[in-house]
Structure 1
Amino acid sequence: MNSENSPVSSRSSSLRFVTFVLALALLVVACNRSKGGSQPGTLRVGASAVPHAEILEFAKPLLAKEGVTLQVRTFDDYVQPNLALADGSLDANFFQHTPYLDEFQKSRPLGIVASTKVHIEPMAVYSKRHKAIAEIERGETIAIPNDPSNSGRALKLLEKAGLLKLDPAAGVRATVRDVKDNPKDLRIKELDAAQLPRVLSDVGAAVLNANYALQAGLSAAKDGLAVEDKDGPYANILAVLPAEQNNADYQKLQRVLTSVEVRSFIEKKYGGAVIPAF
């Protein structure tokens, strides 16, 4: 029998082929996650345009002094930055708080972990029709974000403003089903967070995340009819895959984003609409 055509030889050839394919796949993954070399290194970070990308742009020259080139990619939604991080298109992202990340990964267990706390964006109630919460009329529509972590947060703010009462057992995960008292018979409309500034003229009021409020020229400190407390679990974070946490370039980014220079920038740039969390 010709040894080249033996079952043992075929199995050996198949094993070599599988090994080659696996090695090639690992090489592709490594290339996808490449930092561009350590001299200097490169970090690709996804962010919401305001204030996250603005903070990162300020941090760029500070990070360059540490030998790291920062590439900022902006997103206008709360889904794609996590998907891009998981598939290796990004090295980190900066747009969300930990409750949102935890809720997101209930349906998409991507293995992303929360890292450094950078700032807090107080959520607020805004209106183009009214100048005070008390002016909101019976039967009006109040728009809130539709993602679970931020909708619960918005409902808690409406409760703080005295517009409704929630089931105490609901906590931060409250939904519209947990509204137990609605004395003005308000209609709560849930929309994508990015759409809320566009509907302000069509509703009695809306509860906006600070990044979208800032993009619309609004500030919680100046324009908010009711503003959430500054404490709580909603600090905006750097998020990363576990394998990157000990990366030297990433650790430099963490240090820069919690530096005295970045703190001063946030305080001067946003005048209380965004607050350092470090």
Structure 2
Amino acid sequence: MKLKLAAAGLAAVLSVGLVGCSGSSSDSSSGADQERVTVKVGVVGDNNEPWETAAEALEENENIEIELVKFSDYVQPNQALSDGSVDLNSFQTQIYLETYNSEHGTDLTSIGYTLMAPLGIYSNEVDSVDELPDGATVSIPDDASNGGRALKLLEKAGLITVDPAAGLTPTTDDITDNPKNLQITELDAAQTARSLEDVDAAVINSGMAVDAGLIPSTDSIFIEEVGEESTPYYNVIAARAEDTDNETYKKVVEYYQSDAVAQTITESTKGSQIAVWDGAPSASPSAAQSTAA
């Protein structure tokens, strides 16, 4: 399998002139006789086993080559998708995508669900949220959707109360009760795992936690529940609005949403992430709901 792992940055951007959004030119038959097509997919972090599983099947059966373009933060992949540096991206929740579009005037569109990656609270200092001392420092992501999600998780853990009128994206200004007087520090999501050495607890996105060597289902001291209200936090494959009917991209979604990829998600994350597309043989939600003592 010739799966290319392209580093994000100038080299990835300049290569667009050579490869372009090649997926958009192919929407006909599939199989070995089809001319090879390269589809660039923007991802965040180093752990991309599900995409590697999908890429192997796509290359073998459809002559579609997936080139993973790796980014280190949550802003660059959408910028790259908007400017055509990548064809698709796969790193963000539905609510993050909607918030990004609202803030940047873009029309990036979800073309398929991938997985649910529960947000967790982690600590090197205590073994449960009840043990956090008065005045404890807690780091959370600083973007609107992940930061709001983190505050909602802290509320679920019984640590704070936020104004329900703020919906799914509350800010620290919406905290109405903070009995432990938590000192909440907002950081780039990519920095939250690294902050564990300097804070009492950190709210860390699952992908960032896994990249830092943590196992969300066992290492977190409190983790997000998976249920009917989780849909805004489903991760998606995103495309530009004009490409939502692209047959090649639909084929990419089809191969990602396979039993083999669902199994890879479960095995590579030790049950910490859950396949969420319709009909996915996902891991038991109870695995994602458990907390570490």
Q: What TM-score do you get using the length of structure 2 for normalisation?
A: 0.81
Which residue of structure 1 aligns with residue 89 of structure 2? 93
Aligned to 2:57: 62
> Is the 2:49–2:264 contact (alpha carbons within 8 Å) kept by the matching residues of 1?
no
Structure (1/2) with the larger helix percentage: 1
The within-5 A match list for 1:146-165 is 146-165=142-161
> Contact 2:21–2:39 at 8 Å: present in 1 too?
no
Distance in 2 between residues matched to 1:166 and 1:61, nearest whole Å: 45
Question: Which residue identity is paired with 1:57?
Answer: E
Partners of 2:275 and 2:182 lie apart in 1 by 34
Structure 2 matches for 1:136-147, cutoff 5 A?
136-147=132-143
Alignment root-mean-square deviation, CA = 1.8
**Which residues in structure 2 correspond to 1:232-243 (within 5 Å)?**
232=230, 233-243=232-242
Q: Is the 8 A contact 1:139 1:185 kept in 2?
A: yes
Give the number of the structure whose alpha-carbon radius of gyration is greater: 1
Change (3 A) 1:32 1:269: closer
> Offset of 1:58 from its aligned partner?
1.9
Work out whether 1:221 is the aligned partner of 2:217.
Answer: yes
Structure 1 partner of 2:270 = 271
Q: How much has 1:30 moved relative to structure 2?
A: 11
Q: 2:208 aligned to 212, 216, 226, which one?
A: 212
**1:255 maps to what in 2?**
254
Gaps of 5+ in 2: 1-15, 27-33, 278-293
Contact map agreement 1:50 1:211 (CA 8 A) in 2: no
What is the aligned-residue identity percentage? 38
Q: Give, in whole Å, the separation in 1 of the partners of 2:138 and 2:124.
A: 12
Task: Select which of 166, 178, 191 maps to 2:162.
Answer: 166
Query: 2:192 & 2:127 partners in 1: Cα distance?
Result: 18
TM-score, length basis structure 1: 0.86
Q: Distance in 1 between matches of 2:19 and 2:121?
A: 45
* Count of equivalent residues: 250
- Where structure 1 has 5 or more consecutive residues not aligned to the other structure, the ranges are 1-27
Cα displacement string for residues 81-126 of structure 1 (whole angstroms, at most 9, x for unaligned residues): 1111111111100000111111112221222111200100000000
Partners in 1 of 2:49 and 2:260 — Cα distance? Answer: 14
1:127 aligns with 2:132: no
CA contact (8 A) 1:50 1:212 kept: no
Contact 2:22 2:39 in 1 (8 A): no
Q: CA deviation at 1:34?
A: 3.0
Give the Cα separation in 2 of the matches to 1:198 and 1:192. Answer: 11
Give the whole-Å Cα distance in 2 for the aligned partners of 1:190 and 1:54: 30
1:165–1:180 Cα contact (<8 Å) kept: yes
